[in-house]
A and B are shown apart, each in its own frame.
Chain A
Amino acid sequence: MNGRTIKVESLARVEGEGGLFVRIQGERVTEVQLRIFEPPRFFEAFLRGRMFSEAPDITARICGICPVAYQMSACHAVEDAFGVQVDGQLRALRRLLYCGEWIESHALHVYMLHAPDFLGYEDAIRMAKDHPQVVQRGLRLKKTGNNIVRLVGGREIHPINVRVGGFYRVPGKQELAPLAEELRRARDAALETVRWVAAFPFPAFDRDYEFVALRHPEEYPFNEGRLVSNKGLDIAVREYDQHFVEEHVAHSNALHAVLQARGAYSVGPLARYNLNFDRLSLLAQEAARTAGLGAVCRNPFQSIVVRSVELVYACDEALRLIAQYEMPDRPAADIAPRVATGFGCTEAPRGILYHRSRLDDHGVILDAKIVPPTSQNQKTIEGDLWQCVPANLELPKDTLQWRCEQAVRNYDPCISCATHFLHLHIERA
């Protein structure tokens, strides 16, 4: 009896590189491996011995697409350790900065990395040949996100204006006015994006996921909240290590994060949406409903619609923050180092990003733990493939491979955060 394997050498259209290996015996899938080779905890090691003040600058280098997320989680962990609360307009500026990152990350993923899958294009460039205006819309949306990050963060990539306690410099109210103008146009583009993706063909796909996200008493979550799930999890961020563990998996150099109690879980836009629909702005909720989504969406192929809804929300929220903004007296809160361990967990575009920091009384980092969203999704992605492959065995080889890759891209995996590179191998024996 012949076995077949699916190996994709080099996953396209994911951040960084990754590999997938699937073995098929007859009609059965016997093995699925998402091979992600993680740099051996380089950045955690690199932080050791550094001053707490360097954490935002160092962690920002972990990912070129989500530097703000790393900075925010790092800052919150240190602030938690030192008993610092960042409130008021500084807190608002952090949310605004995060809106910027969500906009640019989601716009990039929706238009450049994911939409081509649904429209049958090998890549965004081929899509752009046929649909230049659509691609331009995506690029303009992304640029708005970049402009927010540049204005509040000081630079588009590796924002230099962020520090523990707040910022080095805060903008005046007038500086934000042109951004508001641009955001109104971006919000319209985001609504068009939802309409555009809502019409894509979505394979039927449903699994009994455990979704994990932050939940806040009033807001759709960015920086703060409790960690909750749809299966009963409800913990403070500082309890993360008691409930989540990382397992080393033989086939992958990345560690698989699991819930001790129940195993695999899913983080990211779908998780946030399902656990916080009532916290979305009315416009975003309406856009979701018009797109045919209920308050809960479990089909990972429809994550592109949810990402687009979050684009609408991020534009809406950014406009709200700008409208209420008054320049704070001071750009940052005072910091007084002490011996302590602090915990931070914020919602990166791809999901919860956990950071733990242990410091001494000089403010030197003794050790750090960083768990990116993509490593938390790995087991779930593999689980999706276990289901996706047998359901599509009759497809021609190339199409089956593409469907596997698309299933991985549903999670917008930032493999450069979680790994070094990935090769997807498909063997047909």
Chain B
Amino acid sequence: MTPGHARSLIIGIGNPYRGDDGVGIAVVRRLRARPPSGVTILEAGGEGAALLDAWTDATNVILVDAVHSGAPPGTIHRFDAAALEIPRRFFHYSTHAFSVAEAVELARTLAQLPPCVIVYGIEGRNFAAGVGLSTEVEQAVTAVAVQVLEEMRAFQAGGTPCLKFPSQPI
């Protein structure tokens, strides 16, 4: 499928009323300030089954969510979900048990995973009820937004972004 017929999607996931769980939403709101053309930007609450719906017919999907894996707050993890199973422990602190990692794995099982799915997990520190991001997490927002934009541009230029960027903490 050529990029001209591709459907590109960026989904920010989280709850802005649960501290660092709002980082995914913060990232896509930053992107909305100067949205890349030809890309749909969505905000989602993290309920997994809704994600399967949202990425129907999409070819290139980037998800952004908070994670809690024990790494230092603000650490940015990148997963190539089309290539590898996402460690489920990473999405443990989603407010819903049927969360991003499970949605991806369910989609894979049902052959409903888009050809290219990149997941950015930003390590959070505080998931208690409240508004606002921790300092380290806030600082990661710009870096992730920039990275997401670059990935999308690379795809639209005809490349396959999954191959161009390393799948490791940046």
Contact = CB atoms under 8 A, between A and B. Distances in A.
Interface string B114-153: 0000000000000111100000000000000000000000
A113 B15 CA distance: 21
A15 B71 CA distance: 24
A143 B53 CA distance: 8
Contacts of A64: 15, 45-47, 95-96
B83 interface: no
Contact of A146 (B17, B53, B127): B53
Interface in B35-94: 44-50, 52-53, 92-93
Size category, A interface:
35 or more
B101 to A, nearest CB: 10
B161 interface: no
A43 B106 contact: no
A300 to B, nearest CB: 19
B127 to A, nearest CB: 7
A125 B88 CA distance: 12
B52 to A, nearest CB: 7
Interface string A1-25: 0000000001011111100000000
B95 A108 contact: no
Interface string A119-144: 00001110011001001100100110
B95 A125 contact: no
B16 interface: yes
A158 interface: yes
B45 A158 contact: yes
B47 A157 contact: yes
Contacts of B46: 64
A328 B162 CA distance: 51
A113 B95 contact: no
Nearest to B106: A125
B109 A13 contact: no
Contact of A108 (B15, B16, B49): B49
B45 A13 contact: no
Contacts of A125: 102, 105-106, 109
B97 interface: yes
Contact of A157 (B17, B45, B109, B129): B45
Contacts of B129: 39-40, 42-43, 420
A79 interface: no
Contact of B96 (A15, A39, A124, A142): A15
B95 A416 contact: yes
A149 B68 CA distance: 31
Interface string B99-117: 0001001100110000000
Contacts of A143: 49, 53
A42 B50 contact: no
A157 B25 CA distance: 13
A316 interface: no
Interface in A145-161: 146, 156-158
Nearest to A130: B109
Nearest to B95: A416
Contacts of B49: 108, 112, 139, 142-143
Contact of B95 (A16, A46, A129, A135): A16
Contacts of B109: 125, 128-129, 132
A16 B97 contact: yes
B44 A14 contact: no
Nearest to A37: B128
Interface string B1-38: 00000000000000111000000000000000000000
Contacts of A65: 47, 96
A216 interface: no
Contacts of B44: 157
Contacts of B52: 139
Contacts of A16: 95-97
A369 interface: no
A61 interface: yes
A103 to B, nearest CB: 12
A13 B15 contact: no
Given A16-B96, A64-B96, A156 B50 contact: yes
A186 B52 CA distance: 18
A113 B106 contact: no
B96 A61 contact: no
Contacts of A128: 106, 109-110
A51 B18 CA distance: 22
Contact of B97 (A14, A46, A156, A420): A14
A155 to B, nearest CB: 9
Nearest to B101: A125
Interface of B: 15-17, 44-50, 52-53, 92-93, 95-98, 102, 105-106, 109-110, 127-130
Given A17-B93, A42-B17, A156-B50, 7 more contacts: A13-B98, A40-B129, A43-B17, A135-B110, A157-B44, A157-B50, A158-B45
Interface of A: 10, 12-17, 39-40, 42-43, 46, 61-62, 64-65, 108, 112-113, 123-125, 128-129, 132, 135-136, 139, 142-143, 146, 156-158, 416, 420-421
9 contacts: A15-B95, A15-B96, A15-B97, A42-B17, A43-B17, A112-B98, A124-B98, A156-B50, A158-B45
5 closest cross-chain pairs (CB), A and B: A39-B129, A64-B45, A42-B129, A416-B95, A157-B45
